[in-house]
Amino acid sequence: MSELKALLFDVDGTLADTERNGHRVAFNAAFADAGLDWEWNEELYGKLLAVTGGKERIRFYLEEFNRGFRCQLDPDLFIAGLHRAKTSHYKALIASGAIPLRSGVRRLLQEAVVHGLRLGIATTTTPDNVFALLESTLGVGAASWFEVIAAGDVVAAKKPAPDIYRWAMAKMDLEADSCLAIEDSHNGVRSARGAGIRSVLVSVNGYTENEDFSGAGLVVSHLGGNGDPCRVLSGSMAPATWVDLAVLRTLHSQCTDL
């Protein structure tokens, strides 16, 4: 059994339910700013989430859902400009406090800090978005709880590629079997497993609940807490009814003993 030394958290959908009423709204605001009649409704956005990375998602949308659009500018410059505007809208929305942390996230982070577990972030989103979310939900300086914030374009290949998890572990000088990844999506599980991380916890959300989480040792509805029990969708955590460090340590030993 390998000692659990670090928790590597995904951000969007895991720390907070940011996609439906955060990123999607910000994309639509940027499209409106640019005078485009593009409207990513909740259903379309769910399809677009198959592609991680906002710039990559815009390109996917044009290739798969709006082939008729003709761009006057260089497409890369056009997409980058839209994405900058989107990020500005998203940061403002997050700063307004519109998107809270998911149930149990603050509790688990604090428990990890108290017990000396190292924390890292491995996300596809833009770094500024991570700082905005941590500050608005955990307070000024909360980013310092995390040794590494591996985010966005710091790697060329985004999730499901393993690059972002490999980058985070290299920066933390950690072996994969010392880490446990906490994710929300199929792409995230593939990325963590592809980086050699064998203990993966998934907390699903409205967009990801029907995805394939093969490779995750435990899949729950949410992290939960006292009086807020989570539902176990795959794996086992009995007799616990919410995800705490003891549950994570048990999961880690089961997954790394194989």
Residue ranges binding ligand XBP (CB under 6 A):
10-13, 19, 23, 52-54, 87, 123-126, 129, 152, 159, 188
Q: Nearer to ligand XBP by C-beta: 190 or 252?
A: 190
Given the residues 12, 163, 184, 244, select the one marked as catalytic.
12
Q: Which residue type, as a one-letter code, is found at position 86? A: K
Residue with the CB atom nearest ligand XBP in the bound state: 54
17 forms part of the interface with Mg ion (CB under 5 A):
no
Cβ contacts of 223 within 8 Å, gap of 6 or more = 102, 103, 104, 105, 107, 108, 203, 230, 242, 243
Neighbour count for residue 54 (Cβ, 10 Å): 25
Sheet holding 199-203, edge to edge: 148-151, 118-123, 6-9, 179-183, 199-203, 218-220, 232-234
Residues numbered 144-163 forming contacts with Mg ion, rule: CB under 5 A: none
Annotation marks residue 153 as catalytic: no
Q: Nearer to ligand XBP by C-beta: 216 or 256?
A: 216
How deeply is 56 buried, as exposed, middle or buried, from its count of CB atoms within 10 A (0-12, 13-18, 19+)? Answer: middle
Annotation marks residue 173 as catalytic: no
Given the residues 10, 163, 177, 244, select the one marked as catalytic.
10
Q: Nearer to Mg ion by C-beta: 38 or 99?
A: 99
Tokens coding 111: 């428990």
Shortest gap between Cβ of 32 and Mg ion (angstroms)? 25
Residues marked active site are found at 10, 12
Binding region for Mg ion (CB under 5 A)? 10, 12-13, 184-185
